[in-house]
A = this chain, B = another copy of it.
């Protein structure tokens, strides 16, 4: 069929850092066979999504086409790539493919949410490839900040696609496969149609540094420390966790892992064979008996998360362990934009306890990024020599900058945000159509649409407070006065009388004077009562609260 086409579609990840979810398709328009790459989450915040537990891409488009999905391919085990698997699989029910370490995490997520673990298939890395409908897919090892990260080499009837996943060019990653330019030259040798490429660090001007570069400075810092040493990093950065643990051992310290994710990641890494020589660790109970100068804690919570071990320690005793004046706390991490306040809260709490905190602003090099910086992207462009570069994984500014970079490297490019269906069949990428791409909120146990209004109502209550009015009518006569309750509003305002009393007085006067016609019409009555509340509240306290009116009608 001459009208078959090759499409790319981001449902998440092309408009934010996080929430990755990409689709490729081959076939006649609206009959394409599809593969899905990654199903990740992003995290809520009080400003835009209060009370929400997790955020992921809206997969309604995919769900409606699930009979056309050949498989779901997970590049690596970071939450923003695998985190939604448990929540979304039952809506898609396609087989999942991943390498061993990633599959281990995907399987746990699936089983935690009642999914069928048999849906998970462990694949071998490149040069192994397998057919999935019109596609052939191979998992090409690439360095990142978690073991067994892979790029996908996707062969299609229209040519080869390289989907980088998250990556950096690290020849000495300590754990997992090093960056291997020869491997990539081989992959590129037959020609690559499209490089779909990580964009997160496009604004970082200098070539990225290797994971191996942080070891010496960390080791020196730990060996100079006098009291207890506590260090935090992303638990999934198994290489870093190992570096930290080894620095502790080298300084004659026992190592203790605190926080569920930290223990889980190390266990999973040992179980799946990616980590072979991790130092012996002691339990928190054992740690309690060890002199603090001989102890090193590796803890969760590098982003200031309130429930993590770092926050627990900053507040007081945590699993029987407690920081003291003269201890050292190391953030072997970067604060993700948006998390600054949470991290500062912890640093200040440690400061109050006399703990010295070392972080990214302390002048040392205790962290490296897991993503390709601008010159590394140049290297990748030059090595893969694709017909076109499709920037992915980034906010709009990152995608746009990456597209400009590709063009400056003589490559075609296009900015394709979430929802843009890119037709890659011809020589130039073009946007064929836009589909509705949105966000799904996991709210408690329920998946709700970001635009459903539920969270909007919460934000309104948080900003404006809430007034409840109840009124009982019998045959269109008020039985007693309107009753008012307030939540999240000051008890008194300008008149110094209780706000509820002032509101009840004004509402009562209205009801006393109201015509039968008004009292007989629920809608009109509710509107009047609401307006009185808002006007009186504005006079009294300078705010227009949210108002709920409940009218109960009894018949005599």
Contact = CB atoms under 8 A, between A and B. Distances in A.
A490 B552 contact: no
Contacts of A344: 337, 395, 397
Interface residues on A, range: 35 or more
Nearest to A47: B46
Identical subunits present: 2
A324 to B, nearest CB: 15
Interface stretch (A207-215, A375-383, A441-449): A441-449
Contacts of A552: 470, 472, 480, 483, 552
A180 B464 CA distance: 49
A74 to B, nearest CB: 26
A554 interface: yes
A436 B248 CA distance: 42
Contact of A443 (B337, B357, B395, B490): B490
Residue among A351, A540, A543, A546 with most chain B CB within 10 A: A351
Contacts of A411: none
A28 interface: no
Nearest to A493: B446
Nearest to A461: B461
A488 B357 CA distance: 40
Nearest to A455: B488
A271 interface: no
A57 to B, nearest CB: 18
Given A50-B46, A348-B397, A461-B458, A446 B490 contact: yes
Interface in A350-370: 350-352, 354, 357, 361-363
Interface in A531-556: 538, 540-543, 546, 548, 550, 552, 554
A494 interface: yes
A310 to B, nearest CB: 15
Contacts of A334: none
Contacts of A457: 465, 487-488
A51 B458 contact: no
A117 interface: no
A431 interface: no
5 contacts: A51-B464, A444-B538, A444-B543, A455-B488, A485-B548
Q: 5 closest Cβ contacts across the A-B interface?
A: A445-B542, A444-B542, A462-B462, A458-B488, A444-B543
Interface of A: 45-47, 50-51, 203, 205, 337-338, 340-341, 344, 347-348, 350-352, 354, 357, 361-363, 395-397, 399-400, 417, 443-446, 448, 452, 454-455, 457-459, 461-466, 468, 470, 472, 479-480, 483, 485, 487-494, 538, 540-543, 546, 548, 550, 552, 554
